[in-house]
């Protein structure tokens, strides 16, 4: 019989969440928010101590407030002790990383480590739920792995429950999800996981474990396809003198297409789309299939990231000795995550070419500095500033990599007045061509008519 924590609502459970990264911590605070008792387990003692003190280890809107409330209400706990985490858990959610390996496959070593740990330490019937993004068939292997190492004659089953949160809106995406996907292989597991999610009051899509795993990859790859398609069309728009903003607006009224993910720019980044598209392509190759559409999305995105540098190289004879403003370092607004951000490739190139880079980001600078510490790199130098306009002072060119609101608020007149040479390369199409021309700023964007 599965243990249950009886609270005012009889659908509340004792839950353990392994991993306090984006997937694990967001899930944990949201489970606590709707009433479950949640214990978070992580091997990183520093992260656990931060969480215990009510400080989120990464930036995510709304996360800090939910973390503090869960602690205050006594429904959220943090530990590095395996026994404490698993002791009364009816369900254990795995939210550890599955990073991309050099060949594009997912590294499942952390999943395997946690699976064995669970098998050797759990002393009561429980359901193990894999929230991490894993290749199709991984849950089957995890369940077999648990059985191989299980020491007690107890019932442990494995279920798939992929997350569909987006960084910058992860809390909202969890509490107000369009759907919750669960993949199970027994009625017992399906009923328990449905019970856990019932207080959310959201649609539940119940499928097999392998279908649930594929839904995650298929959904993310489709969105990546959509972004790369619009970037491809934007590049063609420039050649035929059409405007991608007009094209996107016309497309957005078609219900079959939808209005989201139609913004052209310098490509997608982050911890999901790049990794998941490559993992799906790798899976297809393993089965002797060429997933041509997904490969095209990967190729387009790779080339799109440096399109601003190519535009600037056509305009400038050299970057050496030039002062360059770099606005936005994270892969998107609302997060401090810079993984696969366009800023990485572009700033790396600028530093190699001898530019003096002045970089601004409202929340991403501490993380970005881990990759590019302030100071000299190769032939160039990078300096971090705390205000976007400080990056523009005396700059010979400006690159916009992320559409933060603080960057959107810079006026065409600011570019004209602050920069040595008012030359702007906008990778997110946030500025008006007409207004920039009126302010006498030389302006380049993605897929738009130069005449405005």
Residues acting as catalytic residues? 272
DSSP, res 67? H
Contact between residue 94 and residue 156 where contact means Cβ atoms under 8 Å apart: no
Q: Kindly report the length of the chain.
A: 452
**Residue 358 in contact with residue 383, Cβ under 8 Å?**
yes
Query: What DSSP character marks residue 99?
Result: P
Concatenate the DSSP letters of all residues of 249-316 into one string.
HHHHT-TTT-STT---SS---SSSHHHHHHHHHHHHHHTT---HHHHHHHHHHHHHTTHHHHHHHHH-
| Pairing between β-strand 375-377 and β-strand 380-384 as defined by DSSP bridges | antiparallel
Q: Is beta strand 323-327 parallel, antiparallel or unpaired with respect to 356-360?
A: parallel
Tokens of 328: 């936005």
Q: Is the separation of the CB atoms in 126 and 2 below 8 Å?
A: yes
3-state secondary structure of 43: coil
CB contact at 8 A, 307 and 266:
yes
Rounded to 5 degrees, what are φ and ψ at 22?
-55, -50
């Amino acid at each position: 019989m599965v243990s249950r924590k009886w609270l005012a609502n009889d659908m509340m459970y004792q839950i353990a969440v392994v991993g306090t990264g984006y997937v694990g911590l967001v899930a944990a605070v949201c489970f606590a928010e709707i009433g479950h008792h949640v214990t978070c387990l992580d091997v990183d003692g520093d992260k656990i101590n931060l969480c215990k003190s009510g400080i989120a280890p990464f930036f995510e809107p709304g996360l800090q407030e939910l973390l503090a409330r869960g602690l205050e209400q006594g429904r959220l706990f943090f530990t590095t002790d395996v026994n404490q985490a698993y002791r009364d858990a009816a369900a254990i959610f795995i939210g550890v990383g599955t990073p991309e390996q050099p060949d594009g496959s997912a590294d499942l070593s952390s999943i395997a480590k946690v699976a064995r740990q669970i098998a050797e330490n759990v002393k009561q019937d429980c359901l193990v739920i894999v929230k991490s993004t894993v290749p199709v068939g991984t849950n089957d292997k995890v369940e077999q792995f648990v059985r191989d190492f299980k020491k007690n004659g107890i019932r442990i089953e494995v279920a798939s429950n992929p997350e569909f949160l987006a960084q910058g809106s992860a809390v909202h995406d969890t509490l107000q999800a369009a759907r919750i996907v669960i993949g199970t292989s027994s009625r017992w597991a399906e009923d328990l996981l449905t019970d856990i999610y019932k207080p959310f009051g959201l649609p539940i899509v119940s499928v097999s474990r392998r279908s649930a795993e594929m839904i995650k990859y298929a959904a993310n790859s489709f969105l990546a396809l959509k972004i790369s398609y619009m970037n491809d069309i934007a590049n063609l728009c420039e050649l035929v003198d059409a405007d991608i903003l007009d094209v996107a607006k016309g497309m957005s009224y078609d219900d079959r297409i939808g209005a989201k993910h139609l913004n052209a720019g310098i490509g997608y980044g982050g911890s999901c789309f790049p990794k998941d598209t490559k993992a799906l392509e790798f899976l297809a190759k393993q089965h002797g299939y060429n997933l041509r559409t997904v490969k095209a999305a990967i190729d387009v995105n790779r080339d799109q990231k440096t399109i601003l540098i190519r535009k600037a190289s056509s305009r400038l004879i050299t970057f050496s000795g030039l002062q360059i403003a770099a606005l936005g370092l994270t892969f998107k607004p609302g997060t401090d995550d810079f993984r696969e951000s366009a800023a990485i490739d572009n700033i790396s190139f600028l530093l190699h070419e001898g530019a003096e880079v002045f970089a601004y980001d409202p929340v991403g600078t501490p993380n970005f500095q881990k990759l590019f510490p302030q100071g000299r790199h190769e032939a160039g130098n990078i300096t971090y500033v705390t205000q976007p306009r400080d990056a523009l002072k005396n700059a010979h060119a400006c690159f916009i990599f992320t559409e933060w609101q603080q960057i959107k608020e810079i006026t065409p007149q600011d570019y004209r007045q602050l920069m040595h040479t008012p030359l702007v390369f906008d990778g997110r199409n946030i500025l008006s061509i007409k207004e920039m021309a009126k302010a006498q700023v030389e302006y380049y964007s993605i897929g738009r008519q130069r005449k405005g």
